[in-house]
Amino acid sequence: MALDKTSDLNSLGFAKPPSETRVVVAMSGGVDSSVVAAQLAEEGYDVVGVTLQLYDHGAALAKKGACCAGRDIHDARRVAEDMNFPHYVLDYENIFKDAVMDEFAESYLGGATPVPCIRCNERVKFKDLLETAKDLDADCMATGHYIQRKMGAHGPELHCAEDATKDQSYFLFSTTPEQLDYLRFPLGHLPNKDATRALAEKYGLAVADKPDSQDICFVPDGDYAKVIEKLRPGAAEPGDIVDTDGTVLGRHHGVIHYTIGQRRGLGIGGLAEPLYVVKLDVDAKQVVVGPKDMLATRTIPVKEVNWLGDGPFEGTAEREILVKVRSTRPPRPAILRSKPDGFAEVELLTAEEGVSPGQACVFYEDDSSRILGGGWIWRGA
């Protein structure tokens, strides 16, 4: 690929030919990262593919729809062979367990609802793998995430993907400015997933029709409680299901089986109105239920704020932004107030239901596609 005559920068933003630009591509074995690697290889970049083995691949060889398992490692290796670039598999199983899986279990035991995919990006892919890319003398690291990196007046900015249905900004809010400087996201500008699959067909990739991963990779059947009990034997202690006055309505088999906002599967039918989980009292081993209006939340305390906006976060005046409190919900108008030591308070202009500790609260600029960062909801609202 020839250098741009006006900017003298290649497509990854470096002032040198692609052949002199080394890029490590994080390859999960899926169609997205495979297309990124194939496209950059075709453009003449010095591509190095890296796949992480994150958990017991022996138990996952027959598992479809999960990343970083045995079958996916095979698929990534095949793409590298077809496109003629080196490919390495790194055993990150212990790192992944310590940095992601253990916290996942502890969060559920503490009555929170964690988002392990965010922690994986933050603590494994964009930390340890990124450092490995630097050790390989790569100029940058590219991934198949649907998000955009744009140059702004003060440096790289993080923006939502062109295709709102595939946008992964909720899962990447904790990307730091330093990481963003090194990362590239070649798919973020594409109009839809069909365009990605068309590119896979163009490059003759065997994974062109491979289905998207739907599950958390280490929870292959969606049974979170089963995984938690394996990580923390004896975690599922039974207790009472109570209303907000403390009246016992039934029994449960462990707080880890419930989430804030849950209605189905409570086993307390025959009541005058439907009840929802409004609180998880881990110490008392109680699942507290109440009417739907008790789920409405206006004020959200946030911790571990990662700020991607211009200037410092602490000490700034309150600002009008948009926020997401769940990955499946659209951004909603809110007021953001900074607090010392990485804390913040978010005031929703319209109440949201089912806001849960352990979930992310992601900040968006209210008049653009830019992501301003975010933090973690850290106590019941």
Q: How far is 232 from 106, CA to CA, in rounded Å?
A: 9
Using one digit for the tens of pLDDT, what is the confidence trace for 128-180?
999 999 999 999 999 999 999 999 999 999 999 999 999 999 999 999 999 99
Which has the closest alpha carbon to 360: 280, 302, 295, 308? Answer: 302
pLDDT per 10-residue tile (average), the chain, 381 residues:
62 98 97 98 98 69 50 94 97 94 92 92 95 97 98 96 96 97 98 97 96 82 85 89 95 92 87 90 94 94 96 88 94 96 96 92 96 90 42
Q: What phi and psi values does residue 150 have, to the nearest 5 degrees?
A: -125, 150
Which CATH architecture describes the domain 295-377?
Beta Barrel (2.40)
Q: How far is 217 from 228, CA to CA, in rounded Å?
A: 14
- At residue 304, the pLDDT reads 96
Contact 307, 338 (CB under 8 A): no
Q: Is CATH 1.10.10.10 correct for 18-202?
A: no
- At residue 272, the pLDDT reads 79
- At residue 107, the pLDDT reads 92
Using one digit for the tens of pLDDT, what is the confidence trace for 218-254?
887 788 888 898 899 888 899 999 999 999 999 999 9
Q: Which residues are catalytic?
A: 120, 217
Pairing outcome for strands 147-152 and 239-243:
unpaired
Q: How far is 37 from 216, CA to CA, in rounded Å?
A: 23
Q: How high is the mean pLDDT of the chain? A: 91
- Can you give the residue ranges of every domain in the chain? 18-202, 236-290, 295-377
Q: Determine the topology of domain 236-290 in CATH.
A: SH3 type barrels. (2.30.30)
Token pair 């630097």 is found at 134
Indicate the helix (H) or strand (E) that contains 281: strand 276-281
Residue 51: both structure tokens together? 């796949």
Q: Identify the burial level of 234 via C-beta atoms within 10 angstroms of its C-beta, where 0-12 means exposed, 13-18 middle and 19 or more buried.
A: exposed
Q: How far is 322 from 307, CA to CA, in rounded Å?
A: 14
Q: How far is 309 from 193, CA to CA, in rounded Å?
A: 29
Q: Identify the burial level of 165 via C-beta atoms within 10 angstroms of its C-beta, where 0-12 means exposed, 13-18 middle and 19 or more buried.
A: exposed
DSSP secondary structure string for all residues of 73-131 = HHHHHHHHHHHT--EEEEE-HHHHIIIIIHHHHHHHHTT----HHHHHIIIIIIIIIHH
- At residue 354, the pLDDT reads 83
Q: What share of the chain is helix, strand, coil (3-state, %, to 5)?
A: 30, 25, 45
Q: Identify the burial level of 144 via C-beta atoms within 10 angstroms of its C-beta, where 0-12 means exposed, 13-18 middle and 19 or more buried.
A: buried
- At residue 60, the pLDDT reads 39
Residue 38: both structure tokens together? 């194939």
Partnered with residue 289 across adjacent β-strands are 243, 277
Q: How far is 165 from 184, CA to CA, in rounded Å?
A: 20
Total Cβ atoms within 10 A of residue 238? 10
Contact 372, 329 (CB under 8 A): no
Q: How far is 119 from 174, CA to CA, in rounded Å?
A: 9
Q: What phi and psi values does residue 67 have, to the nearest 5 degrees?
A: -95, 165
